[in-house]
Amino acid sequence: MINKLTHLTKYLYRHHFMRYIAVGGTTFIIDFGILFFLHGILKLNLAVSTSVAYWIAIIYNFILNRYWTFDIHEKTNLKNHITTYVLLLIINYLFTVTFVSIVGTHINYIAAKVFAVLIQTSWTYHIYKNHIFVKRERKGTI
């Protein structure tokens, strides 16, 4: 039984999507923890709190997704990865702040944030895997 569990754990660990889910889950916890602290406890403006929490979580997310989830270590592609990642972040950021600010006036802001994250997750993994964290083949190699 332990051998099967170990095998299953190794199998899941080897797949990008499972690592993506793990990174996303911890990013979610960081994002929500900061949002709750800033808005729920310190009573800062909801849009400001959402923004600060989002950007701190995103830096964490980029580093773990690049180096662990998709195992990209080449420095030569870092500029390309950051450029396309920032474009996606801008889109996701505007969506998140707008969605939470509008929907958060009708339902609890935490629930609004959960919905925003779920919606974003539907397109983010595909974009990461196929457009951002792509290993470029070296020219001249056989």
Q: What percent of the chain has pLDDT over 90?
A: 34
Q: What pLDDT sits at residue 12?
A: 66
Write down the pTM of the prediction. 0.70
Q: What pLDDT sits at residue 74?
A: 66
Q: How many CA atoms lie within 13 A of 127 on its CB side?
A: 14
Q: What pLDDT sits at residue 76?
A: 60
Q: Where are the domains of the chain?
A: 2-132
DSSP string, 28-91: HHHHHHHHIIIIIIS---HHHHHHHHHHHHHHHHHHHIIIIIS----STTHHHHHHHHHHHHHH
Q: Which regions of the chain are under pLDDT 70?
A: 8, 12-13, 73-76, 136-142
DSSP 107: S
